[in-house]
Amino acid sequence: MNYLAPSILAADFSCLGEQVKCLERAGADYVHIDVMDGAFVPSISFGMPVIRTIRPCTGLAFDVHLMIEEPARYLKKFAECGADMVSVHAESCRHLDRTIDEVKQLGLRASVALNPATSLHVLEYVLPKLDMVLLMTVNPGFGGQKFIPGMKEKIRSLRQMAESRGLAVDIEVDGGITLENVESILEAGANVVVAGSSVFKGDIEGNVKSFLGKMGHACD
């Protein structure tokens, strides 16, 4: 099953709640929430208060991507404000295995995110614990970047790694995903697609439905 997770980093914050409702009406599967701390990545985005504010606006699952140093410090707070799944970066966790366990103990789906230059080998001993792996297909920190072509091979390699172990882990991709390249990215083995400006620029509902059509969803 393929899932669309529009990233609200590209939304209009003057009407964020209404735009989140629009995503649900259009048939999006998740709401992707990028939390940036200005340390792990250069930008600062938003945190718990924003997530808590928009939680009543939708029943969609909140896919929270923590681009922050030592995310284990804040896992409980993100769970309390409405996260359903949490991605932590392998590069920012001193004790990755322990952090994954803490995510699971909070009743959340656990995901590990990898930057483009990070090898899949860091997943060697934790992959069976994961519900999802998030592969960054741009260098994190800013929206609107172009997809790094070499990441398709990384997607293929991860899908092969999972299948060789009999694991049905989701593979999420984030960065530079457009209507023009989404089908080839799914073909490479991804099944969860994050899209920001490609969704929020122009007709949000129409853009969501166009993505879902290319992703094999039956749209009204």
12 is catalytic: no
- Tokens linked to 8: 């609200």
**Cα(82)–Cα(92) distance, integer angstroms:** 22
Tokens 């072509």: give the residue: 149
Residue 220 appears among annotated catalytic residues: no
Torsion of the alpha carbons at 50, 191, 116 and 42, rounded to the nearest 10 = -10
Q: How far apart are CA 192 and CA 186, in angstroms?
A: 8
Q: Give SS3 for 216.
A: coil
Of 37, 131, 170, 174, the active-site residue reads 174
Q: Which of 127, 129, 69, 75 is nearest to 93 (CA)?
A: 69
The one-letter code for the residue type at 182 is V
One of 12, 29, 34, 37 is an active-site residue; which one?
A: 34
Active site residues: 34, 174
